[in-house]
Every structure is written in C-alpha cells, then in structure tokens.
Amino acid sequence: MREAGAAVRFPSGPPPPSSYDSIFAMDTYEDPATWGPEPVRPRWSLALKFVATLLFFPLLCAFWLAVAAVLFVVGLFADGIAAVSEGFGRGYMRFVDDVLGGTARLGSWCVTWPELRHEGDTAHYRARVDKVVGNWTERASAPREPKKARPPVECEIPRRVYRGVGGRYVAEVALAQGWELRPTDVRKEVRLWWSAASHPQDASVADTAREA
C-alpha cells in the first residue's frame, strides 16, 4: 500500500472520455486523503519562515537572474549546433526549463504575506482557486486570433494556490469548467488539460454558439 503522501499517477495516454469520471479516478489510483487540505501550520512557524523569506527571496531572485543570464549566453553558442541538429535544440530548451524551474523551487518553502495572514482560511483559498482556474478557463476558451499563438490547452495549478482546500477542490472547479485531469503530483501541483482541445468539433460548436 502506498503512503498517504505519495504522488498521484494516472495511466498514460489520452485524457479520459468523461471529465467527471476522472475525479473519481483519484480514489482509484491513490489515497484520496492526499487530495484534501493540508494541516494548518503553527502561526509561530509561519512567522519565522516569513522573516526568513524577506531575507532569502531577494538573493534567490538575483541567483535566478544570474543563472538565466549564463544560460542565455550559452544558448547563443548553442544556436549554431541547433541549426544543424533540431534534437539538440529541443534538448537544450528542456535543460533550460529544468534548470530555471529547479532554481525557482529552491524557494518553495518561502511564506508570503497572504499565506501568513490567511493560513487556515478556507474561504480565502476557495476564492483563490476560483480566480486562478477561472483565469485559465478564460484564456483557454478564447477564440484563436490570426497570426497569434494558440490559446493554452494545458496548465498547472501550484500547491501554494490550493493548500488550504486541497487538490480535490481544484479538480471539482476545473472539471465543472471543462478541464480534464492530467498525470499529477498533487504535492506540487494539479495539472489540467482543456477538454475542448481533445474534441475540436465541440470547440467549433462552442465558437458558433458564442458568435450567435
């Protein structure tokens, strides 16, 4: 039996045919407790971490910018190789994403002022999830404009957004708005896929209705 804190892993392949079925898949593939709210942290612990964040976060930002600058310079030389080998270019971009993402995760323990102020406030976290998911839905459902990038079809909701209500609430809100769950490590984030992207004919019907 897996531990309660283990990551949620869904079977590989295309999103499930029914969005609402996928929320019950959480119970099938993992302990549902991992998708619930996290325990309320002691106020004194949060206060100490908040003070440490004020001292550490500027240094982290400077370090991230320095790493980004080095990768940019290296990338200028790598362009010559990428012009010959497309695989190298893709690999280097993945490397850049991993390095910058790993550097940013060094601050995952940091505590912001809203977190310090609203720890244990379920209503605050519900409103926060509603706003973040709603913003992604607005972007994903926007009609595509000529000569512009396609609307996003995938997103990640970080744990910092939903820790007070749990990943299950994110899933409930997202599924109701037309998203599907993707393979997810709920200890870090909840990954979502815009279901209309899997069914272009549904998207066309939605666009026609919107124009009418």
pLDDT digits (tens, 9 = 90+) for 105-143: 788 888 888 889 999 899 999 999 999 999 999 999 888
pLDDT in tens, 138-163: 999 888 777 777 888 899 999 999 99
Where is mean pLDDT largest: 32-41, 176-185, 199-208? 176-185
Average pLDDT, the chain: 77
The tokens for 37 are: 């709210």
pLDDT given at position 184: 81
Look at 104 and 9; give whichever has higher pLDDT.
Answer: 104
pLDDT higher than 50, residue 4 = no
Residue with tokens 């744990």: 159
pTM for the whole structure: 0.67
Sign of the torsion formed by the C-alpha atoms of 16, 12, 35 and 40: negative
Report the percentage of the chain scoring pLDDT > 70. 72
Q: How confident is the model at residue 85 (pLDDT cuts 50, 70, 90)?
A: low
Residue 2, helix vs strand vs coil: coil
Q: Which of 45, 34, 2, 19 is nearest to 175 (CA)?
A: 19
Please state, in angstroms and rounded to a whole number, the distance separating the CA atoms of residues 114 and 163.
13
The tokens for 127 are: 């409103």
Residue with tokens 């964040």: 53
